Amino acid sequence: MFGFTRALGRTLILAGCFALTGLQSASASTITLNSTSFGWWDSLGTHDASNTNYGTGDNPQNVDHRSFFVFNLSGVSGTVVSAALNIFNLAYSSADPSETLGIFDVSTPIAVLIATGTSQIPIYDDLGSGTLFGSTTVSPANNNANVTITLNSVALAALQSGLGSDFAFGGALTTLSRPNLTEGVFTFSNNFTGTRQLVVTTVPEPASLALFASGLTAIAVARRRRKGSAFQGQTERLRCDRSGRLRSWNLRVRECARDDAEAEGGEGAMR
């Protein structure tokens, strides 16, 4: 009675498809985080915590600058499915038509990264080496506008692992090629120029998704059972109606037979 029917199959398939695809799109949430700390370390290992300039690149004295951006991920939950950095570029300064900006992982502890320091060349090295999280081309077309860097799958996995804590990105130009000349992006920047944002999109955890799918399946089965019960009731009523008509017919047959017998008896008496 409660077997797998075509209608029930369609219901379960629709429920599963909705749980695996519709829920993701309907429940996907995007959060935009502002950088809590940013700046640069130069190739001499110098950083001033009071300086909010995050210019990235080389200067005429051949002192290279690498930037960093810190974000607090305590308000992010779920599974990270996409992320991008939006960094405001006030001015592009290079004799080259474009430069390539690379975004890297950072292993330096956050407290050390944002503190004033000198002769900390390993920190400078850290900001432009290691795992590449994404890159983009920057040119004069990006002046007075955001530079968007879409983060790769390695970065997404790192963000997932870093949920609930502070997370840092390093920025470096990977196409420096002109000694004694300026090659830079984000020049003349500070905390009053534009935004420095991390945009993260997440979906519910797989366990929550499976639980939702189970709930939809249970609803579909319960609905099918209610329909089955109603059909069973209709069948029983039909059986009762048929039985009643059968009893009435049998009674009528017996009555007719009795009348015929009485009629035959009367005819015999008259004979």
Each residue's pLDDT expressed in tens, for the chain with a length of 271 residues: 444 455 555 555 555 554 555 554 558 999 999 999 999 999 999 999 999 999 999 999 999 999 999 999 999 999 999 999 999 999 999 999 999 999 999 999 999 999 999 999 999 999 999 999 999 999 999 999 999 999 999 999 999 999 999 999 999 999 999 999 999 999 999 988 899 999 999 999 864 455 555 555 555 555 555 555 554 555 555 454 544 444 554 555 455 455 555 555 544 443 4
What are φ and ψ of residue 249, in 5° steps? -65, -45
Q: What 3-state class would DSSP assign to 59?
A: coil
Q: Which range marks the domain in which residue 259 is found?
A: 209-270
Residues 21 and 47 in one domain: yes
Residues 42 and 170 in one domain: yes
Residues whose CB is less than 8 angstroms from the CB of residue 96 and which lie 6 or more positions away in sequence, other chains included: 175, 177, 178, 183
CA 175 vs CA 66, 196, 223, 255: distances in Å: 13, 22, 63, 110
Residues 200 and 213 in one domain: no
Residues 183 and 110 in one domain: yes
Full-model pTM = 0.70
Residue 127 in tokens: 């900001």
- Domain termination site, one of 153, 186, 204: 204
Residues 30 and 151 in one domain: yes
In a domain, 222, yes or no: yes
Residues 196 and 225 in one domain: no
CATH number at residue 20: 2.60.120.230
User: Max alpha carbon distance in the chain (Å)?
Assistant: 147
Distance, in Å, from the CA atom of 35 to the CA atom of 146, rounded to the nearest integer, reads 14
Torsion of CA 252, 255, 260, 264, to 10 degrees: 180
- Domain termination site, one of 204, 230, 259: 204
